[in-house]
Chain A
């Protein structure tokens, strides 16, 4: 069985290499700029097979312009379908499949609540969705004739902005404006601290604005680098095959090791993005002592 799966993988990779040959460079330039090597996908292959007329047409232009977003929507739809399909796995006595799913969910729940605390368990769905969205996009980038949107900066910055607004809105909602501003001013508790507060506030604001940028750039850089590496080795494989015959139907799959590397990088980067988002959220949310303080105030108020 595993041999059959392996053989199928190799055939698909070889097919992808062949498609790369059909798609020319195998990638496409940004806005008609310099060609960026990458693994071919259904749209690049269709554009290559359709010829320059198709590429210049409205549909071709749209497909070229929105290539990654189309795949992202497709992957999101698949992901939604997958999650909806798991809806029947909610029995009290779990099946093997449900047990597996629950182990993953519970592991994630423990991971998030371990960082944020049990009282912040409401953030588990958001962080879980973030991880699944990025992970699936990363992994679909490795599936032949597919691509993941996370190797585009528009996607990663959009996700980082979502995280940015989410954590700041929840920080304001949970802690209140006073605590939020006090925290942004470096949590001053002495005269020196209050004197430095304006400076620290500015620095903190800059730091907070840089956080989503760093998240987006890290994910984009890693995924793009991995895709370019795979594309370059795919082209090298084609060139190597071309050295033995004039028009090779398939190339040597030299990029195969990088696909396995991509599997690892995709998972790690999804985890890193999620972990950092959780940590940013943890840093902004009120801590337990603040909670205790607020609760004490509330109790005192109730007593009065």
Chain B
């Protein structure tokens, strides 16, 4: 044990030199290397983390906006569909009214035309009667010019035409 202790004491300066060398190295490395390099890494990590957080927040914001936008688009589409349906119904109603009005106008026009036709027919009939009278008078005149006077002549023919009209 004593020999071991003596050996240890003999080698103590070398051991202490090693301890001192390591201590100096540790001090220098800690001050000039580890502290600064770990700080740089930490700062970069913090900044990258900050950027990631920002990106995550922005992404969330964009997703919220997108969801809101989608919701609003859906609402707009729903409203547009509803308005379309309303407009279609309104259009149909207007079309039916127009058709009804057109039909009424058509019916009125037909009535008016019928009246016109009746008037024209009456006119034509009167004209035709006059023409028949004139032609008959002319024909009869030729046949019996010599035997009848004009007044008798006219009375006979008028009688004839009235009989004809009554038939």
Contacts and interface: CB of A to CB of B under 8 A. Distances in A.
Interface of A: 66, 68-69, 72-73, 76, 79-80, 83-84, 86-87, 89-90, 92, 101-102, 105-106, 109, 121, 124-126, 128-130, 132-133, 149, 152, 154-155, 157-159, 161-162
B4 to A, nearest CB: 12
Interface in B32-68: 32-38, 40-41, 43-44, 47
A153 to B, nearest CB: 8
B28 A83 contact: yes
B18 A159 contact: yes
Contacts of B69: none
Given A76-B21, A106-B41, A154 B26 contact: no
A36 B24 CA distance: 31
Contact of A90 (B17, B21, B37): B37
A79 B43 CA distance: 26
In the A-B complex, the 8 residue pairs with the closest CB atoms: A158-B18, A125-B34, A83-B33, A154-B14, A158-B15, A125-B30, A129-B26, A76-B21
Given A80-B24, A86-B37, 19 more contacts: A66-B17, A72-B21, A79-B29, A83-B33, A86-B33, A87-B32, A90-B40, A92-B44, A92-B47, A125-B26, A125-B35, A129-B22, A129-B25, A154-B14, A154-B15, A158-B16, A158-B19, A158-B22, A161-B19
Q: Is the interface of B mostly helix, strand, loop or mixed?
A: helix
A158 B32 CA distance: 24
Contacts of B25: 76, 79-80, 129, 133
A102 B41 contact: yes
Contacts of A105: 34, 37-38, 41
B11 interface: yes
A158 B25 CA distance: 14
Given A66-B14, A69-B17, A149-B18, A83 B41 contact: no
A19 B116 CA distance: 145
A101 B47 CA distance: 20
A160 to B, nearest CB: 10
Nearest to A80: B28
A83 B17 contact: no
Contact of B15 (A80, A124, A132, A157): A157
Contacts of B37: 86, 89-90, 101-102, 105
A72 B34 contact: no
A129 B28 CA distance: 10
